[in-house]
């Protein structure tokens, strides 16, 4: 244990039990669908970082450029003393640009992530590069009730939710998250990244990269089921499928059965018809005004907006 850092380790078996229960439920439902949070074991988190560097995957570099250009402006909205809570912290690459624009002793940083080993490794790297920064990682599923460290008097709580991760939520889930965040961040605010509605070809390419990294990321759910839960299925039985669904303004990712097959999990046998899919992810695209309206209904007051010249991605300041 590092001095000054409070590592909270998850119980690996409890996490696998939850995965098993959710996978059974997913395979029993019609249509079959599972939460995208199961992409992010250690291997999946690494694959996601590779996605972020793909030429076709514009969101990461577009958002990084916005942070690079406007971090001081963004930090100016936060206030002088801040508990900065990053939801779904991942590699902790983007927050560095915000931290660079804030006095080191003005911030307590609380990254929250479901992938424990990955989060703790990222915190080690951050602590090495930002000596003196107070870091208190929390290994948790931030969509479920969780307890943040207490916020000192005169300190505002500011949420940071970059990457358009909120796109993974259905509108109802996004609304629930925004309400939870508005309550948790009351008196402070939320800086959130959203991916904007755009040309369908650009969207399609971002989720069907030539190098096949997104396919490997999607298939990682089944690799986990095999390795962690002992699931059995033909190894060439599923393929990556990603497409834009304009009616819902979302990319959908699925794992599609290449032929009629059976998947065995913990004594149960689940049949797939040829072409039947396990739905693994939604990635909703928004307009700035549409998102602000939803945030307002959830209890936020929309403020500044930063967007790139092409209008592909936006960072929004929402006052809580």
The binding site for ligand AVJ (CB under 6 A) comprises: 51, 59, 163-165, 167-168, 207, 214, 281, 283
Contact at 8 Å (CB) between 255 and 277?
A: yes
Closer residue to ligand AVJ, CB minimum distance, 102 or 253: 253
| Smallest separation, CB 136 to ligand AVJ (Å) | 23
The answer to whether residues 203 and 251 touch, using CB atoms and an 8 Å cutoff, is: yes
Residue nearest to ligand AVJ (CB): 283
Rank residues 24 and 46 by Cβ distance to ligand AVJ and give the closer one.
Answer: 46
16/37 Cα distance (integer angstroms): 13
Cross-strand bridge partners of residue 156: 82
Q: Which C-beta is closer to ligand AVJ: that of 160 or that of 207?
A: 207
Shortest approach of ligand AVJ to residue 22 CB, angstroms?
18
Task: Tell me how far, at minimum, the Cβ of 163 lies from ligand AVJ, in Å.
Answer: 5
Q: Min. distance of Cβ 24 from ligand AVJ in angstroms?
A: 24
Nearer to ligand AVJ, 101 or 216 (CB): 216
Residue 197: how many CB atoms within 10 A of its CB?
Answer: 18
**What is the SS3 assignment for 159?**
strand
Residue (207 or 270) nearer to ligand AVJ, CB: 207
- Cα gap 37→285, rounded to integer Å: 18
Contacting residues for 183 by C-beta, under 8 A, at least 6 apart: 299
Asked if the bond preceding 283 is cis, omega within 30° of 0, the reply is no
In the complex, minimum distance from the CB of residue 5 to ligand AVJ, in angstroms, rounded to a whole number: 26
Closer to ligand AVJ at the Cβ: 239 or 261? 239
> Which among 163, 136, 156, 134 has a CA at the least distance from the CA of 148?
136
Smallest separation, CB 305 to ligand AVJ (Å):
19
Q: Which of 90, 219, 98 is nearest to 142 (CA)?
A: 90
- State the minimum distance, in angstroms, from the CB of residue 12 to ligand AVJ: 23
CA atoms within 13 A on the CB side of 21: 6
Token pair in block for residue 229: 């839960």
Indicate the helix (H) or strand (E) that contains 194: strand 189-195
Of 26 and 151, nearer to ligand AVJ (C-beta) is 26
Residues 6+ apart with CB under 8 A from 201: none
């Amino acid at each position: 244990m590092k001095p000054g850092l409070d590592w909270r380790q998850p119980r690996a078996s409890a996490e696998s039990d939850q995965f098993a229960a959710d996978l059974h439920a997913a395979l029993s439902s019609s249509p079959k669908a599972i939460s995208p949070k199961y992409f992010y074991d250690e291997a999946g988190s690494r694959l996601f970082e590779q996605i972020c560097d793909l030429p076709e995957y514009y969101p990461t570099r577009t958002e990084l450029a916005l942070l690079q250009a406007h971090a001081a402006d963004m930090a100016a909205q936060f206030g002088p003393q801040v508990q900065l809570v990053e939801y779904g912290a991942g590699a902790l690459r983007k927050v560095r640009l915000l931290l660079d624009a804030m006095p080191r002793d003005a911030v307590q940083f609380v990254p929250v992530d479901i992938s424990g080993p990955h989060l703790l490794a990222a915190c080690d790297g951050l602590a090495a590069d930002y000596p003196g920064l107070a870091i208190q990682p929390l290994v948790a599923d931030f969509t479920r009730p969780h307890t943040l460290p207490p916020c000192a008097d005169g300190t505002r709580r500011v949420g940071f939710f970059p990457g358009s991760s909120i796109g993974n939520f259905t509108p109802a889930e996004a609304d629930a998250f925004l309400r939870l965040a508005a309550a948790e961040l009351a008196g402070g605010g939320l800086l959130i990244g959203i991916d904007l509605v755009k040309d369908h070809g650009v969207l399609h390419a971002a989720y069907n990269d030539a190098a096949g990294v997104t396919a490997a990321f999607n298939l990682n759910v089944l690799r986990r089921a095999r390795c962690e839960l002992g699931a059995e299925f033909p190894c060439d039985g599923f393929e990556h499928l990603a497409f834009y669904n304009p009616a819902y303004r979302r990319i959908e990712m699925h794992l599609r059965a290449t032929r009629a097959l059976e998947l065995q999990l913990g004594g149960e046998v689940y049949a797939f018809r040829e072409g039947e899919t396990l739905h693994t992810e939604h990635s909703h695209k928004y307009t700035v005004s549409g998102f602000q309206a939803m945030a307002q209904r959830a209890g936020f007051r929309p403020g500044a907006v930063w967007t790139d010249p092409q209008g592909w991605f936006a960072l929004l300041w929402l006052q809580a």
